[in-house]
Amino acid sequence: MSLPLEGLSAIVTGAGRGLGRAEALELARLGASVVVNDYGQPGRDGSGTASSGPADDVVAEIVAAGGTAVAHTGDVADFAQARALVALAADTFGKLDILVNNAGILRDRMVFSMTEDEWDSVIRVHLKGHFNTTHFASVHWRERSKAAGGPVYGRIVNTSSEAFLAGSAGQPNYAAAKGGIVGLTTSTALALAKYGVTANAICPRARTRMTEDVFAGFGVPDAGALDSLSPEHVAPLVGYLASPAADRVNGQLLVVHGGMVAVVERPCVSAQFDTGNDVFTFKELDAVLTPYYAERSPGQTFAATEVLGLKRR
């Protein structure tokens, strides 16, 4: 019996540790050949001998389990290096079928304390990084589709966050980047559907090196028990979205953690007001909007804070 992703090739960015590592291992377990991307060069051990880096370590795990993988240590936020990443997958495996964008960093601070560099660096790695790889993957699929005279196989799984949905007060840069990724995902889903490509976004909650401070207050599981915030809860959904089984799943946003997957519906219009004239006046807006908001709770904003309470039933 063939595996769900057998014969397919994948890129997973930020895959040296944490979520990306779990996702790369899962895709390989399901049969995909994987390019494991993680920014940085191999280091040196205490004796001065060159040692492998995180990407190489994950490749070694995949190969040891009988899979196929290669490492890429470039910066996905660099346009040229993102091009090289997609080219590596196509040249090594003959084509690219799956792109999982996971690479990211945190520079948490309140908006009034945040520096320009803290803002720029997070937007660059998360949002620009997602765009760069998506751009070159989409060029690859469009060219293949034109050559084939019809749709090809393509899957994009992007990584957003509940910080965007709930409005994390201490993460304005991160929340903005993750919201931008959702916009990028829905736009890409519409643009690439005719080529056979789907694009979806997930909001994972996981305890990783990047989020250890964020989830410091969450309980640690007993010895031998699986952490409800383990990346292993997230990876199966990525494997599913990357598979032929998810052919009809496109332009979607899903929250995933602790044995639970929640499908997030698109925003709805809660009220509409029309001017009785050619254009609204201040007085007319005051007459309709002020009483409307007077009846709403001050805490009822566009932020969907209820997603933070989601848990397995």
In which band, very low, low, confident or very high, does the pLDDT at 299 lie, cut at 50, 70 and 90? confident
Tokens representing 156?
A: 């994009």
Residue 45: what pLDDT? 44
Q: What is the CA radius of gyration of the chain?
A: 21
- 260 pLDDT higher than 90: yes
More confident residue, 208 or 257: 257
Residue 27 in contact with residue 5, Cβ under 8 Å?
Answer: yes
Model confidence band, residue 209 (pLDDT cutoffs 50, 70, 90):
low
Is pLDDT above 60 for 219? no
Given this model, what pLDDT does residue 52 score? 79
pLDDT digits (tens, 9 = 90+) for 89-143: 999 999 999 999 999 999 999 999 999 999 999 999 999 999 999 999 999 999 9
Residue 212 has pLDDT above 80, yes or no: no
Quick one: average pLDDT of 297-306? 89
**The predicted structure's pLDDT at residue 218:** 53
What does the pLDDT look like over 18-40, one tens digit per residue?
999 999 999 999 999 999 999 98
Amino acid identity, position 143: E
Paired sense of beta strands 154-159 and 197-204, if any: parallel
Residue 161 pLDDT greater than 60, yes or no: yes
Query: How high is the pLDDT of residue 229?
Result: 78
CA atoms lying within 13 Å on the CB side of residue 110? 2
Residue with tokens 């994950």: 58
CA distance 18 to 208: 5
- pLDDT at 215 (0 to 100): 47
Report, as an integer, the average pLDDT of 287-308: 92
The confidence score (pLDDT) of residue 46 equals: 44
pLDDT band of residue 49 (cuts 50, 70, 90) is: very low
Residues known to be catalytic = 161, 174, 178
pLDDT at 40: 86
Percent of the chain with pLDDT over 90: 82
